[in-house]
Amino acid sequence: MFEVQEALDAQKEEFARREDAFRRREEGLRKKDLELQESLIKFNKFLQENESKRNRAIKRANDEKKQREAKEQEILRLKAQLEDNKNMSRELSNNVQKMMKYTRYLETVQEDVPEDYPEIADLLNRYKTLKDANEDLGRRQNKHDSENEGKRNEFANVTKVKQNTILNSNNEIASLQKKLEHAEQEVLVLQNDVDLTIQSTSGKTLDLGQILMAVENLLQRSTSGNHGKILKHGTDTEAKSGNTQKVPAQQASHGHGPGISELDKQGQKAIDDLGIIAAYMVDFKNICQDLENQVKTNRRAQQAAVATTAAMGTTTNAAPSD
């Protein structure tokens, strides 16, 4: 146990020594780690600064390149503009040389009429006035030409419309003329129909007059002479006929008013007269029938009497023989 205890103590000391060594090593490693991290941070900061410097340098280089290109373009543009200005200057110089003759001409004119144009500016003002007047007259002429063209087109349109209207009116007149001719033909046809109707009416009126006269003659023959005395119901029939004549007249006066024609009155009277004639004919037929029956009765009586007489004569002749 003592040896074991010594061995354990020795191991504990060894473990303590190793633990202390490990602790010192760990602290050293921690310090190295911290130093390494600090150096790494410094290196990263150095790299970032270098990168930002490089980016700024690249950006400055690009900006300077763009500025250089812009300046080069500006130089080219200015050179072109300079060349254009030189050309314009040459053209202006040539124009000045060309216009010098007009200047000399204006000076000559001003020297010839100094009382009208004391200065060359007066000539230029006069020219400007005449130019403005000419332009105004040109504008007026264009305006009048356009108005004239518009009026001409309007006149052409109106003429076309009126021609169409005249054409339509002529067509309408022709159509109305055809209608008029057709109407005249219809009038002629209707006139012929009217003439035929008048002729037919005249014939019917003549026939009606003859019928009325025949009815009146029959009435006179029925009611006059011995016939009126022989017929049994003549007085009653005349009273009835009188009543039948009055009733239609009253109906005519109440129903149709005073506008009834004379022909209608005569027709109604003829109808009433025919009723009277029919009554007389019925009475006459009855009288004839009665007379015929009486004749037959008398004949049968005579035949019976003859037969009785004959029978009596036969009996008389037979008695002596018995």
CB of 252 closer than 8 Å to CB of 268: yes
| 81 — pLDDT class (breaks 50, 70, 90) | very high
pLDDT at residue 14, as a whole number:
87
pLDDT at residue 99, as a whole number:
82
pLDDT at residue 310, as a whole number:
79
User: What is the phi/psi pair of residue 117, to 5°?
Assistant: -130, 90
pLDDT tens figures, 199-221: 877 777 788 888 888 888 888 87
pLDDT tens figures, 247-291: 343 343 433 433 447 777 887 888 888 888 888 888 888 888 888
Domain spans of the chain?
1-112, 225-311
| 165 — pLDDT class (breaks 50, 70, 90) | very high
pLDDT at residue 230, as a whole number:
46
CA distance 123 to 104: 13
Mean per-residue pLDDT over the chain, rounded: 81
**pLDDT above 50 for 84:** yes
- 3-class SS shares of the chain: helix, strand, coil, % to 5: 95, 0, 5
Whole-model pTM? 0.30
**pLDDT above 60 for 301:** yes
Map residue 121 onto helix, strand or coil. Answer: helix
- Comparing 205 with 48, the larger pLDDT belongs to 48
CA distance 271 to 238: 14
Sign of CA dihedral 111, 116, 122, 125: negative
- Comparing 174 with 235, the larger pLDDT belongs to 174
**pLDDT above 80 for 118:** no
